[in-house]
Structure 1
Amino acid sequence: MATGWAGDGAVQDQIDATVKDGIKRARSQLPQGPSLTHCEECDAPIPEPRRKAVPGVRLCVPCQEARDEEDGGHSGYNRRGSKDSQLR
């Protein structure tokens, strides 16, 4: 299939690069270092299974859920970008 100046597989290469960038950004936001034994927000104990599952964890589950809800209110991309909206 002719794609103009783009080489074969250029679209897939762009998609792959976008996915890799997203993964890299998400991993950079994960906590790192030793986990805390008590939540830095409310001082509740953090269970051992959570500390093992999430290295560098700093918050208990309720505090983490509250923070995720605060941070999750916006997105970095257009979820409504359907084919119909692009044709307008």
Structure 2
Amino acid sequence: MVCPFDRAQALEQRQRDTAIAAALAGPRPSGPSLTHCQDCDREIPEARRALGGITRCVPCQTLTEKGRR
């Protein structure tokens, strides 16, 4: 007999995998990156700008993704 905890853990893992796959399948920014954040005007580090299509610094992007802006 299968332990209910094992079934719950397997379900949680499937849901996590589905959520990660959905996030990775979403549209990625492309094109040139800005040198300064469009929200707070702080400089965006070169390593982040190298990703392409970056318009916000990490703190502002985090707030945007959490729906606070």
TM-score category of the 2 structures, normalised to the smaller one: 0.5 to 0.7
Structure 1 position 70 matched with structure 2 position 63: no
With the length of structure 2 as denominator, give the TM-score of the two structures. 0.58
Greater RCO (Cα-Cα under 8 Å, separation 6 or more) = 2
Q: Which residue of 1 aligns with 2:45?
A: 47
Secondary structure, counterpart of 1:70 in structure 2: coil
Larger Rg: 1
Q: Which residue of 2 aligns with 1:34?
A: 32
Deviation track 1:33-59 (CA, whole Å, cap 9, x = no partner) reads 10000001110000001111x211000
| Match in the other structure for 1:18 | none
Question: Percentage identity across aligned positions?
Answer: 46
After superposing on structure 2, the runs of 4+ consecutive aligned residues of structure 1 that deviate more than 3 Å are none
Give the counterpart letter for 1:46 in structure 2: I
- Unaligned ranges ≥5, structure 2: 1-21
In structure 1, distance between residues paired with 2:29 and 2:39 = 15
> Over aligned residue pairs, what C-alpha RMSD do you find?
2.2
